[in-house]
Chains A and B, each alone.
Chain A
């Protein structure tokens, strides 16, 4: 098994790892009579660290070494789809011609519009959708966009009374929050005994009040909703729309398309499925695809081909805007490059290997996996162990742990998604880590981790005694 030790620098005198910039230096600059503005419009002073470039280079390099990324090791974080980020995509995003102001005239940004149009087209084909907007800057922003589109569609059809959005209990929390932000009442759908949508429960939840059902397929347990055709029919029969949460699309690339399954709206997490860096929590991008009936409601502006190049236009019944400009452009460039690198065969191979890896790893771990057969991810149960403690102990084995304690329907859940990028050797290493931890006692787990930069962190006191800035530390 791999022996892992993460970097840390400790100053033994004051019990600190790498000091804050403010503790290295602090300089106060007075803003006085030399300012080009009168006193009553300016602040009195500005106090911040003022360090040399070499000092800064070391500070941030040390901090980077105290951070674990997908290039550091395995990252089987369920539902987050942490894939290797090819390096060349950074190079194309850094092309000088990619850096243009969003208010440039259409005629002067034909290249940018062509790339956006190309990505819209790729995503529409992959999802089986008729039209795509690239504006939403993240998956949850895509959900919110989809909710706005659904609402506008219903209102245009004099169906504005529909006030409920149905969400399975195992769905991503953002589904609930996005529907609520759109002003909908959220109806939580209990899961069936097999971990899938229970058709009777769905029947009971559906009504004239239903605006939409939000679903991911495969679901967060990694299970394909085999009844999807029937589900779609039931939702459509009451006049509702079917929304596809694209978080798990990696499992289906080239195998099935949301549009073919009867979904009316979907979002793509291009930062997951199409391997653009998550950057420690973003930026991502959450393009939204819709069927033809919903196209007029998409956010403005959209890109289309014109007689002589490409142009921006406003859809007839647009919901307006969900981002100040055109979304997270640099992420979109990387997504385009990634899709082009894979092409048809690569996209199909990605889902094949992602599903193979999940099944192989699921077979190898000793923890109980209550449902199956699973696709890209599986949810193991830590049983008598505390899943959060299991995760902390796994850190000592040099792997990022799975998502823990979610979905709640599996006790002490360990939601694991290795993706297609791991080879058999790494999967065996991952399984060895799982299995080593599975037989360890609670004391060992509670004392973990030991080999990481920081030892177990007290998150309760962080919330009780809030210190959210270096200024608050000085108080």
Chain B
């Protein structure tokens, strides 16, 4: 017997038959099956019918399976964005010391990851102006849910109403509803005024029972919210928290949340670091210092070791589920740490100039593409008389689903968001194909 690879076992269990026999004799069993203390009626002796394949066969299979996806140029956004991810991010984040490690419960041997997470938290502190950022939630929707439960804990009002924009991605609203399902909180909507939150409607709806007001910048329709300060004032007059949904690229250019009265920032930070990845994300969560003991998720803090050197460690763990159980600030345990690492590397690679340039590109490319689309017969864009970031809504004279379907047949994916409304998203990743999209639109939108 030469190799460790048994013909029929797990390729990752290295025991030779001799070794197995010796180990069995040490534990005093004749057969491995004897080690299983499982009553007969619930023993499983059947087959799953899952064929064991070689690495090569699986690669071929998945190349073929995933190859069935249509080759489309995506102009899709609405909360999930594609920016070019530099090769540096892959090569460094795939270093196995990062990739194959666990939560940093032993900080003395996990200083590398802890420092990256500390740097990630610092990046968000600079971008938001808030003092506290955790080192990840799952995605924007679950981060919003956690913000609501935080607001309910820290606000002393009798009521439990949460106000969100009517122009909120349905999926985010849906997740939020589930996060508040176990509480007394209720979610209500505020209509929009030409793509921004309707301030008068907000003023009408807000009262002392509101624990949190949520807005987004940019909004799901790509407009830049122009009344953040007013929203904050209205929320604070009623002792409600103001939570803002956004992302790190937008934050590089748009108003600093702390400067306009935002109490909590949530959103998806994987716009830096991940390719589109079918919606896999990285929940961003930042807030004010006075809420630090109510923050969900993990926090990395600086400390010192015995040698007097600065080190990093997970801190305030008494908030977490492994210590406080049902009284924890959140049930989150496994989070998105490795995606946070990728986001931190991507942001560091861009640097402040690169981040601002990328954000400005998101404004200028959207503006230019909207103008070009507006020139197409049968299409008017943008429908909102606002500044835009990455994306905009266009009116189509023809039914929008049909136009989107025809565009797909030509190789382009856009959102159909209404009977006669398309939404188009442009970033550095697809801007080079924008002229082709316009040409295709000219063919199909008439």
The residue that B110 contacts in the complex, of A68, A172, A186, with Cβ under 8 A, is A68
Residue B108, interface by CB 8 Å: yes
Asked whether, in the complex, the Cβ of A280 is within 8 Å of the Cβ of B122, the reply is no
Residue A229, interface by CB 8 Å: yes
Please judge, given known A-B contacts A340-B50, A342-B11, A469-B125, whether A21 and B348 are in contact too, CB under 8 Å. Answer: yes
Asked whether, in the complex, the Cβ of B55 is within 8 Å of the Cβ of A17, the reply is no
Question: What residues on A are CB-neighbors of B292 within 8 Å?
Answer: 466, 468
Question: What residues on B are CB-neighbors of A370 within 8 Å?
Answer: none
Chain A 1-16 near chain B by CB (<8 Å), digits 1 or 0: 0000010101000011
Chain A 107-138 near chain B by CB (<8 Å), digits 1 or 0: 11111101100100010011010000000011
Residue A434, interface by CB 8 Å: no
Name the distance in Å between A322's Cβ and chain B's nearest Cβ.
Answer: 6
Name the distance in Å between A324's Cβ and chain B's nearest Cβ.
Answer: 3
Question: What residues on A are CB-neighbors of B63 within 8 Å?
Answer: 92, 95, 97
Residue A312, interface by CB 8 Å: no
Residue A85, interface by CB 8 Å: yes
Asked whether, in the complex, the Cβ of B171 is within 8 Å of the Cβ of A321, the reply is yes
Please judge, given known A-B contacts A98-B277, A395-B108, whether A46 and B126 are in contact too, CB under 8 Å. Answer: yes
Residue B157, interface by CB 8 Å: no
Total inter-chain residue pairs, C-beta < 8 Å? 659
Partner-contacting stretch, out of A235-243, A420-428, A436-444 = A420-428
Chain A 318-346 near chain B by CB (<8 Å), digits 1 or 0: 01111111111111010011011111111
Which of chain A's residues 361-382 have a Cβ closer than 8 Å to chain B?
Answer: 363-364, 373, 375
The residue that A280 contacts in the complex, of B23, B90, B98, B125, with Cβ under 8 A, is B98
Please judge, given known A-B contacts A50-B352, A181-B179, A469-B133, whether A67 and B101 are in contact too, CB under 8 Å. Answer: yes
B86 and chain A: residue at smallest CB distance? A53
The residue that B280 contacts in the complex, of A68, A252, A329, A342, with Cβ under 8 A, is A329
Please judge, given known A-B contacts A140-B332, A449-B108, whether A60 and B50 are in contact too, CB under 8 Å. Answer: no
Question: What residues on B are CB-neighbors of A103 within 8 Å?
Answer: 76, 78, 80, 413, 415
- How far does the alpha carbon of A457 sit from the alpha carbon of B98 in the complex, in Å? 20
- How far does the alpha carbon of A94 sit from the alpha carbon of B274 in the complex, in Å? 11
Which of chain B's residues 101-140 have a Cβ closer than 8 Å to chain A?
Answer: 101-113, 115-119, 121-123, 125-127, 131-133, 135-136, 138-140
Asked whether, in the complex, the Cβ of B10 is within 8 Å of the Cβ of A182, the reply is no
Question: What residues on B are CB-neighbors of A326 within 8 Å?
Answer: 278-279
Question: What residues on A are CB-neighbors of B172 within 8 Å?
Answer: 324
Asked whether, in the complex, the Cβ of A392 is within 8 Å of the Cβ of B108, the reply is yes
Please judge, given known A-B contacts A176-B326, A324-B142, whether A82 and B102 are in contact too, CB under 8 Å. Answer: yes
- How far does the alpha carbon of A363 sit from the alpha carbon of B28 in the complex, in Å? 10
Question: What residues on A are CB-neighbors of B198 within 8 Å?
Answer: none
Name the distance in Å between B106's Cβ and chain A's nearest Cβ.
Answer: 6
- How far does the alpha carbon of A137 sit from the alpha carbon of B280 in the complex, in Å? 9
Asked whether, in the complex, the Cβ of B50 is within 8 Å of the Cβ of A125, the reply is yes
Name the distance in Å between A472's Cβ and chain B's nearest Cβ.
Answer: 7
Question: What residues on A are CB-neighbors of B80 within 8 Å?
Answer: 101-103, 324-325
Residue A289, interface by CB 8 Å: no
A26 and chain B: residue at smallest CB distance? B352
Question: What residues on A are CB-neighbors of B10 within 8 Å?
Answer: 342, 345-347, 349-350, 353, 420
A352 and chain B: residue at smallest CB distance? B32
- How far does the alpha carbon of A125 sit from the alpha carbon of B49 in the complex, in Å? 8
Question: What residues on A are CB-neighbors of B26 within 8 Å?
Answer: 360, 363-364
Partner-contacting stretch, out of B12-20, B234-242, B377-385 = B12-20
Asked whether, in the complex, the Cβ of B338 is within 8 Å of the Cβ of A37, the reply is no
Residue B42, interface by CB 8 Å: yes
Partner-contacting stretch, out of B159-167, B204-212, B301-309, B437-445 = B301-309
Residue B300, interface by CB 8 Å: yes
The residue that B76 contacts in the complex, of A104, A148, A343, A401, with Cβ under 8 A, is A104
Residue A139, interface by CB 8 Å: yes
Most buried by A among B308, B326, B347, B367: B326
- How far does the alpha carbon of A320 sit from the alpha carbon of B175 in the complex, in Å? 7
The residue that A279 contacts in the complex, of B44, B183, B318, B337, with Cβ under 8 A, is B337
Name the distance in Å between B428's Cβ and chain A's nearest Cβ.
Answer: 15
B281 and chain A: residue at smallest CB distance? A324
Asked whether, in the complex, the Cβ of A323 is within 8 Å of the Cβ of B133, the reply is no
B61 and chain A: residue at smallest CB distance? A340
Asked whether, in the complex, the Cβ of B106 is within 8 Å of the Cβ of A280, the reply is no
What is the total number of residues of chain A having a CB less than 8 Å from a CB of chain B? 200
Please judge, given known A-B contacts A100-B69, A174-B321, A461-B304, whether A256 and B51 are in contact too, CB under 8 Å. Answer: no
Asked whether, in the complex, the Cβ of B61 is within 8 Å of the Cβ of A356, the reply is no
Residue A257, interface by CB 8 Å: yes
Question: What residues on A are CB-neighbors of B23 within 8 Å?
Answer: 356-357, 360, 424
Residue A355, interface by CB 8 Å: yes
B225 and chain A: residue at smallest CB distance? A41
Residue B186, interface by CB 8 Å: no
Residue B446, interface by CB 8 Å: no
Name the distance in Å between A219's Cβ and chain B's nearest Cβ.
Answer: 12
Please judge, given known A-B contacts A36-B364, A280-B101, whether A110 and B68 are in contact too, CB under 8 Å. Answer: yes
Residue B38, interface by CB 8 Å: yes
Most buried by A among B22, B111, B299, B327: B111
Asked whether, in the complex, the Cβ of B66 is within 8 Å of the Cβ of A115, the reply is yes
Asked whether, in the complex, the Cβ of A328 is within 8 Å of the Cβ of B280, the reply is yes
Name the distance in Å between A349's Cβ and chain B's nearest Cβ.
Answer: 3
- How far does the alpha carbon of A326 sit from the alpha carbon of B39 in the complex, in Å? 37
- How far does the alpha carbon of A181 sit from the alpha carbon of B331 in the complex, in Å? 7
Asked whether, in the complex, the Cβ of A260 is within 8 Å of the Cβ of B53, the reply is no
Please judge, given known A-B contacts A85-B100, A344-B52, A455-B307, whether A363 and B27 are in contact too, CB under 8 Å. Answer: yes
Partner-contacting stretch, out of A69-77, A199-207, A290-298 = A69-77
Residue B316, interface by CB 8 Å: yes
Asked whether, in the complex, the Cβ of A180 is within 8 Å of the Cβ of B309, the reply is no
The residue that B131 contacts in the complex, of A173, A422, A472, with Cβ under 8 A, is A472
Chain B 54-92 near chain A by CB (<8 Å), digits 1 or 0: 110011011101111110101010111010000010111
Residue A161, interface by CB 8 Å: no
- How far does the alpha carbon of A228 sit from the alpha carbon of B103 in the complex, in Å? 32
Please judge, given known A-B contacts A46-B352, A138-B334, whether A176 and B325 are in contact too, CB under 8 Å. Answer: yes
Asked whether, in the complex, the Cβ of B139 is within 8 Å of the Cβ of A324, the reply is yes
Asked whether, in the complex, the Cβ of A282 is within 8 Å of the Cβ of B337, the reply is yes
Asked whether, in the complex, the Cβ of B259 is within 8 Å of the Cβ of A454, the reply is no
Name the distance in Å between B279's Cβ and chain A's nearest Cβ.
Answer: 2
Asked whether, in the complex, the Cβ of A325 is within 8 Å of the Cβ of B133, the reply is no
Please judge, given known A-B contacts A70-B101, A283-B339, A471-B122, whether A84 and B356 are in contact too, CB under 8 Å. Answer: no
- How far does the alpha carbon of A392 sit from the alpha carbon of B38 in the complex, in Å? 35
Q: What are 15 A-B interface contacts by the 8 Å CB criterion?
A: A22-B122, A48-B123, A53-B88, A92-B63, A114-B68, A173-B333, A324-B175, A342-B50, A344-B52, A349-B8, A349-B13, A357-B23, A400-B106, A424-B19, A468-B299
Given A138-B334, A282-B136, 20 additional A-B pairs, CB 8 A = A17-B311, A27-B352, A48-B123, A67-B111, A90-B94, A99-B276, A108-B413, A114-B65, A257-B44, A260-B44, A281-B103, A320-B178, A353-B10, A424-B19, A452-B108, A454-B111, A467-B302, A468-B125, A468-B315, A470-B122
* CB-CB nearest 4 A-B residue pairs: A325-B279, A343-B52, A183-B182, A279-B338
